Structure 1
Amino acid sequence: MDGLRKLAAPFVVPGPSGVAIRTRLKRLTAADEEVLRRVGAHLGTLASGDLKTRCHDGPGHDAQAWAVRKRELTPLSSARWAGAITKATHDQWALSRRCALAHLQNLESGVCTLRHRLALPLGAQGSKRAPGGYRSRREWHAKARRLRVLEDRLARERADWTAGTVHVVRGGKRLARMRHQLPAAQLTETQWRERWEAARWFLRADGESGKRYGNETIRISPDGQVSIRLPTPLAGLANAPHGRYVLTGRIHFAHRGQEWADRVAANRAVAYRIHHDVARARWYVTAAWQKPVTRTIPLAAALVDGVIGVDTNADHLAAWHLDTHGNPTGNPRRFCFDLSGTAQHRDAQVRHALTRLLNWARTCGVRAIAVEDLDFTTEKTREKHGRNKRFRRLVSGLPTGRLRARLVSMADRTGITIVAVDPAYTSKWGAQHWQKPLTSTTRKTSRHDAASIAIARRAQGHPIRRRTTPPRTHRSDGCGHRTVQAGPDAPGREGPRRRLPGPRTRSVPPDAERTRATRTPHTVRGVRSERERVQDPLPLTDQER
């Protein structure tokens, strides 16, 4: 075991801390859509200016500067709209700051890798911990040029990080760059302009506990009526008292609808966001609220009924059910999904696969699912894997973050605990110790199925190895127990064997004496011996006596 890194202990993943549900705004009139467009465009302009001010302040921003920004926005909207805009701006700046730090660390890792490989001779062999030299002089020259490019980028990123400069695009950088590639995106300039303006609108409001229906700005009643507090410059568009506009259509939340209705009826805080899907010409509203984190149960209590190990792959989930002793039961299961296509399609595929997994877990009667604590943020670099584009694409395609977030949220509703384990060597050791023994003529065990067993056994605290090596002196239990399944205090471990009737020699079967008298000799065909004609006398009854 020399050279292996230390494995982290398994732990119970805490439950979600928030809920977000979405539904469609239907039966909107032309006047309703016009009001939503004008309100979103007006507040979006204020949000863009506030984000510019926040980026200009940099790390020197404080609570006093935040209050100044809010006071400047209040006359142009309202106090609550100004609070929502400044809070969204602060969160967006903080997210950009974290992304800049991650990009800076990624560049530093790439530069260190390139410098190490360039310092080695051509064709030098690498190790498990560090890559070797480049294969040819041509590749070495290309990587030397790339090193200069990365060093220039790293110098710029370090300067921006020190100065507190962040690069933010309201509406998304991808959509902004699409403007220069309209034929490839199959869009006209008018269609792109509609998407760009809709992405930069601002129609979101934070909730307030104690206020009517949990939100004073965007208010939704339990029966689905939606009303919006209009900004001060647009107060003339109101069709209800106190500068509010009531939409014609009503909404209904199919998912967690009763939970949302109970929260709204109790006047607890609920945040809302209204957005427009230009491609489908549909309006949606998203409701979100915080919830107390579900109290995690001890690991031993979660594993009392066994566990299901799940190995995450690029196109499927490999799962196997293990009993309390770490033995696989039944057959492995595979839950496939397709991550090609749009983001909505990928998300639906992940949800469908997890739903089938949780339904099977309830059928098995287990209360825990073991998954790997995967983190590929440092495994996607171009410099680490070099020419292996296929592997880099495979790693980038694994939906680790989205799948784990979805699994934790969906498992919390079903009462199933998620256990995260260290992913080190699970595929290698699982295939080494479990793939071949569990393969038969009727069942073909894959490497991923064997990895799911390794994941589940690590969650239970069992070693992945099936059995230890027998003593070299002899193949008995004289020098210790061969298997690691039974401990010294296991009942029946040293019990005597069952007594079998008959002699103890292997040459004479136990029933030889009983069958010798009735056995037919084969020396003379058709001739019965005198010994066979002799029959035992029948027992006499009391009358014959």
Structure 2
Amino acid sequence: MTEPNKKQLRAIDAPFVALGPSGVAIRDRLKHLTPQDEKVLRLVGDHLGCLASRDLKQRCADGLEHCADTWAARKRDLTAESSSRWAGSITKASHDQWALSRRCQAAHIDSLEAGVRTLRHRLCQPIGAKATKRAPGGYRSEHEWFMKSRRLAALECRLERERAEREAGIVHVVRGGRRLLGTRHNLAKAQLDEQEWRQRWEAERWFLQADGESGKRYGNETLRVTPEGEVSIKLPAPLAHLANARNGRYVLSARVAFAHRAEEWADRISANRAVAYRIHYDVPRGRWYLNASWQRPVVKTVPLEAARAKGMVGVDTNADHFAAYRLDACGNPVGDPHRFFYDLSGTAPHRDAQIRHAITRLLHWAEGAGVAAIGIEDLDFTAEKTREKHGRNKRFRQLISGMPTGRLKARLVSMAAEMDVSIVAVDPAYTSTWGAQHWQKPMSAPRRKTTRHDAASIAIGRRALGHPIRRRTTPPQHHQSDGAGYRTVQADRGTRGREETRRPVTDRAHDARARTGNIQGTRATSASKTVRDACSAGQRVQDPLLITDEERSPPRIRR
């Protein structure tokens, strides 16, 4: 297998150290709630949820004409029915939801454009034309060509509509989730009845979240949590008669005790720094939860040279496992390959738990190996998931869609930051091809089989370290010496002994007789076994000046 021509290769981006997490989120369960507590939470969530739905509708109607004046008018209308802080949280959530919908709309337009380009290219090719490494070929039959032409017309119509809506500032948002809304028409498949679906739908549309304020008591005036775990809520104006504390507040009987990052959270609220809280209800489990989140200051990343100082762990992401290999600072593989498996079948919480467990094992192994960074591909399959890209290869499309690129990137960066391990992102171009070409066969052994994924992890690690993926450069053309330049990239030019010949080895048993001139079949004089004679003989051998002329010349045999 030959390496592709360099003129046809695309430009490979330089590796970089990924930024650390910008925020922290923790959760705890609200236990031992009284029926009155649950009644108050449901009433507050339903009332604020109606206000949030109305405000989001108004924000979507404003579109691109939104400004600070319209924002202030919306907040002023909501304040009369809730409070100024509740109104600020609702309007900010509506604005964030609209911005998220705009980003999703732009990504959908990009996906449609990629599909249209591929369809147009393949329809222009002759029927039965073979594909190349750079572009797909034509369709296999006239029927398939006709069906794809109809799909092209549908995609072009859809693309034109999406572009027109984006220019007009129109977005489509569903409070509660579009997936849960679609489940209403497939209750039998979801194994739900109408009442259970209605409970989930109402719980998802409740609004019980408040942004924090620095300088206020315990960092949040609307949803306040004390260091002892007491939770109190500022009731909206129409529900102020339900208060059981001063200033229109309701104190829950439940207490929270965060098990994760408890000290960091306590230090933050003790300094009256902003902490955002959210209360939500899990209908299938019948439990109430409290989420706390806050932002972290921007932390400067470790320089790339410092991350490469102790070597690197190259990681190849696959559909069911991580293939990892440790490399030293010079790019040489050390030890055996490691694989960390996970199962992405089942529900979303199960998949997320599998990813977190695999990342935890990977980080612990990297920490034990003594490296300071992990090299991983900067994967993005946004434009590669369309069926126009891979044709009928539905199995391969499902494989790519199943790879947890977005969730993996977020989890890996946040979990590695807690263990002081840097993440170096590299360009994924040609890592699997060149890894298998240059490293799969040399790293294989009779008792160890190196897979294509293991070889790809070595290629990723070498690219993260700044070394070429190839093991050695091409030898000089005119002769085999180093007259035209250095032939190896394993050792730097300033390394001592780089150009020296190999040191001589000791005489072996099979050629020692030929060098000394002994005749086969005769037995030489045995060496003395006493300690004194052995020491004196060893001293004479080590110091050549102590050897006399008689000992250098062979003894003469008198006849």
TM category (shorter chain) comes to over 0.9
Task: Establish whether residue 142 from structure 1 lines up as the match of residue 142 from structure 2.
Answer: no
**Alpha-carbon shift at residue 489 of structure 1 (Å):** 2.3
- Separation in 2 of the partners of 1:158 and 1:249? 50
User: What do the CA deviations read for 1:422-470 (whole angstroms, capped 9, x no partner)?
Assistant: 1000011001110111111111111111111100100111110112333
Partner of 1:516: 518
Indicate if the aligned counterparts of 2:439 and 2:455 stay in contact, CA closer than 8 A: yes
**Alpha-carbon shift at residue 477 of structure 1 (Å):** 4.5
Q: How does 1:155-234 map to 2 (within 5 A)?
A: 155-234=160-239
Q: How does 1:46-195 map to 2 (within 5 A)?
A: 46-195=51-200
The partner residue of 1:362 within 364, 367, 370 is: 367
Task: Establish whether residue 436 from structure 1 lines up as the match of residue 441 from structure 2.
Answer: yes
- Separation in 2 of the partners of 1:61 and 1:480? 65
Task: Establish whether residue 291 from structure 1 lines up as the match of residue 293 from structure 2.
Answer: no
Change (3 A) 1:112 1:478: closer
Indicate if the aligned counterparts of 2:330 and 2:491 stay in contact, CA closer than 8 A: no
**Alpha-carbon shift at residue 155 of structure 1 (Å):** 2.0
Task: Establish whether residue 262 from structure 1 lines up as the match of residue 267 from structure 2.
Answer: yes
Indicate if the aligned counterparts of 1:47 and 1:85 stay in contact, CA closer than 8 A: yes
- Separation in 2 of the partners of 1:439 and 1:117? 41
Partner of 1:311: 316
**Alpha-carbon shift at residue 390 of structure 1 (Å):** 0.9
- Separation in 2 of the partners of 1:170 and 1:370? 39
- Separation in 2 of the partners of 1:236 and 1:303? 63
Q: How does 1:384-533 map to 2 (within 5 A)?
A: 384-471=389-476, 473=478, 475-477=480-482, 479-498=484-503, 509=511, 511-512=513-514, 514=516, 516=518, 519-520=520-521
**Alpha-carbon shift at residue 22 of structure 1 (Å):** 1.1
User: What do the CA deviations read for 1:28-49 (whole angstroms, capped 9, x no partner)?
Assistant: 1111111100000000000000
- Separation in 1 of the partners of 2:505 and 2:110? 71
* Aligned amino acid, residue 454 of structure 2: D
* Aligned amino acid, residue 222 of structure 2: T
User: What do the CA deviations read for 1:293-320 (whole angstroms, capped 9, x no partner)?
Assistant: 2211211111111110111111111101
Partner of 1:540: none
Three-state SS of the structure 1 residue aligned to 2:163 is: helix
Partner of 1:526: none
The partner residue of 1:353 within 351, 354, 358 is: 358
Q: Which deviates more from structure 2 when the two are superposed, residues 32-41 or residues 460-469?
A: 460-469
Indicate if the aligned counterparts of 2:110 and 2:383 stay in contact, CA closer than 8 A: no
User: What do the CA deviations read for 1:252-288 (whole angstroms, capped 9, x no partner)?
Assistant: 1111111101111111100001110101101111100
**Alpha-carbon shift at residue 476 of structure 1 (Å):** 4.8
- Separation in 2 of the partners of 1:255 and 1:59? 41
Change (3 A) 1:422 1:499: closer
User: What do the CA deviations read for 1:193-238 (whole angstroms, capped 9, x no partner)?
Assistant: 0000000000000000111110000000111110000000000111
**Alpha-carbon shift at residue 162 of structure 1 (Å):** 1.8
- Separation in 2 of the partners of 1:490 and 1:499? 20
The partner residue of 1:381 within 369, 386, 389 is: 386
Change (3 A) 1:511 1:94: same
* Aligned amino acid, residue 448 of structure 1: H
**Alpha-carbon shift at residue 129 of structure 1 (Å):** 2.5
Three-state SS of the structure 1 residue aligned to 2:246 is: coil
User: What do the CA deviations read for 1:368-422 (whole angstroms, capped 9, x no partner)?
Assistant: 1111111111111111111011111111111111111111111111111110111
State the identity %: 66
**Alpha-carbon shift at residue 124 of structure 1 (Å):** 1.4
User: What do the CA deviations read for 1:309-338 (whole angstroms, capped 9, x no partner)?
Assistant: 111111111101101111010111111111
Change (3 A) 1:134 1:534: closer
Partner of 1:330: 335
* Aligned amino acid, residue 514 of structure 2: A
**Alpha-carbon shift at residue 533 of structure 1 (Å):** 11
**Alpha-carbon shift at residue 152 of structure 1 (Å):** 1.7
Indicate if the aligned counterparts of 1:501 and 1:510 stay in contact, CA closer than 8 A: no
Task: Establish whether residue 341 from structure 1 lines up as the match of residue 343 from structure 2.
Answer: no
* Aligned amino acid, residue 428 of structure 1: T
Partner of 2:534: none
User: What do the CA deviations read for 1:54-98 (whole angstroms, capped 9, x no partner)?
Assistant: 111110000000000000000100000000000000000111111
Indicate if the aligned counterparts of 1:11 and 1:421 stay in contact, CA closer than 8 A: yes
Scaled by the length of structure 1, the TM-score of the pair is 0.92
* Aligned amino acid, residue 381 of structure 1: T
Change (3 A) 1:134 1:249: same
The partner residue of 2:253 within 248, 252, 273 is: 248
Scaled by the length of structure 2, the TM-score of the pair is 0.90
Change (3 A) 1:533 1:137: closer
- Separation in 2 of the partners of 1:499 and 1:131? 57
**Alpha-carbon shift at residue 14 of structure 1 (Å):** 1.1
Partner of 2:547: none
Three-state SS of the structure 2 residue aligned to 1:2 is: helix
Indicate if the aligned counterparts of 1:204 and 1:274 stay in contact, CA closer than 8 A: yes
Indicate if the aligned counterparts of 1:314 and 1:398 stay in contact, CA closer than 8 A: yes
RMSD: 2.0
Partner of 1:529: none
Indicate if the aligned counterparts of 2:326 and 2:333 stay in contact, CA closer than 8 A: yes
- Separation in 1 of the partners of 2:422 and 2:349? 27
Structure 1 unaligned runs (5+)?
522-531, 537-545
- Separation in 1 of the partners of 2:243 and 2:55? 26
- Separation in 2 of the partners of 1:233 and 1:345? 41
- Separation in 2 of the partners of 1:398 and 1:175? 24
